Structure formats: C-alpha cells, structure tokens
Chains A and B, each alone.
Chain A
Amino acid sequence: MSRYFFIQSSDPLTDRSTDNQFSLIAQLAHKGNDVSLFLVQNGVAPAAIQMEYPAFDSLLDKGVKIYADTFSLQQREIDTSQLKKNIEGAELNLIIQAMLNGEKVIWSQE
C-alpha cells in the first residue's frame, strides 16, 4: 500500500481536467492505498455544501481524507461550517508534513 497526497487548486466547473484527478484518486483508494486530497485556491469550491459535483462528491465516502485550505476558504467567504461531511479545514503545513512523511505528493495541473 502506498500513500498518496494530492493537491487540487482548480475549480472543477472551470477546469474539467480535475475529473481525471478525482477519478485517479477514487481508483487508488479503491485499490487500498492511503489517499489524501488537499483543496487550495479555487480548488476549495466543491468542498462547499452548496456545490454539487458528482465526480468530487463520490470521493466523500471512499475513505479519502479530504482537507480544504482555511486561507482559501476565508478568501472565498466559505465558512468551515459550510463544508461537506468528511472534509476538514486545514493549513498548508499538512502538505509539508506529508512530504516529510515521505508520501507521494502530487500537484497536478492536468
């Protein structure tokens, strides 16, 4: 089992390539890997309970640990109380900790 830590900075409604990352995350989690997803910048958009995005929402019950950057949330006036279930507000140091833990940290733009 490997540990993967994905970073997503794009809003899926304006960048459909995020679907590929969500699909890859689902597949890796399905195969029993330890997978985390950190949402930052416009990437926090689908974390809000008001936004429905099936490709992302399907990850919520797959054992993927999902975090949303609190600074990005504040910039977009999204309160942590508005986050979907199983999503935590978090700081960027989580990414650094993942790197220090030797996890495979991937910030994909495609």
Chain B
Amino acid sequence: MSAEKTLTFAFMDPPFESERTITFFRLLDCALDMEAHINVFAYEGAVSLGFSHQQIHGNNMHKRNADEENHPLTKNWISSLREKAERKNLRFEWINCGLCVDERGVMDSIPECTRGGPADFWRCAANSLNTLTVGTR
C-alpha cells in the first residue's frame, strides 16, 4: 500500500452521541470517493461504533415500528464503507483500541474491525500521507 494516498484518522466519539460522528463518517466516505486508502484508529468511546449487538428499534412515541423508524447503526456504516472500499480496490482498515474495548465490554465487534493498540496508530500514521486526529473533551 502506497503512503501517497493513504490517510489515517483517529476518532474517539461513541455512537449516537455527537454530530461529530456523522461528520466523521461523511469524511471517510469523501476520502473513498477521492480514491484514498483509509486507516481508522478508534479509541475511547469510538470502539463501540463497530459493536455487533447494536440493534434497530421502533419509536412508540411516533407510532413507528423498527422498519419505519429505520434507525441508523454505525456498525452498518462501517460495513458499507468497507464494501465501498473493496469495490474501488482501496484498503480500509479499522482498528479498535483493545484497552478501550475491554473497559467497555464491547468485545463483540463486526468482523471489519480488528483489535489493536496505540502502536498500530503509530504504524498507520507513519505510513500515511497525512493523519487527522479528531479529539473530544
């Protein structure tokens, strides 16, 4: 994989909490559109983005069942991005911080997410054209 068009992102927001999560996924989609290989290092709450037990739900207040509510799940977004990358013959690597996973008990992630640590972030950044760290408080 060439570093010329590889971008690394570090992200720490959990799913369903912040608008930053939406923007972050939009950025990843843009990067694939621009033919960039992608590395993601998810740490802190972001390790739950790929938690396999996320489930859609209905909304009784709005009288909508689960299908009508069509609740977005971040695990599906990760899968979709991975599929898009494969269609475009691009690399899409998603690494969850293992320590953060253990803290939260979200070991059951979708297969697209692998377990790693800060050293992987270092490796990814060192082999990328550029890195964006999206921090939070």
Contacts and interface: CB of A to CB of B under 8 A. Distances in A.
Interface of A: 9, 40-42, 71, 91-93, 95-97, 99-100, 102-103, 105, 107-110
Given A107-B134, A110-B137, A100 B23 contact: no
B136 A102 contact: no
Interface residues of B, number: 20
B136 A93 contact: no
B132 A100 contact: no
Given A92-B27, A95-B27, A102-B130, A9 B20 contact: yes
Contacts of A102: 129-130
A41 B19 contact: yes
B34 interface: yes
Main secondary structure of the interface of B (DSSP, over half): mixed
Contacts of A100: 5, 7, 34, 36, 129-130
A41 B136 CA distance: 15
Contact of A9 (B23, B36, B137): B23
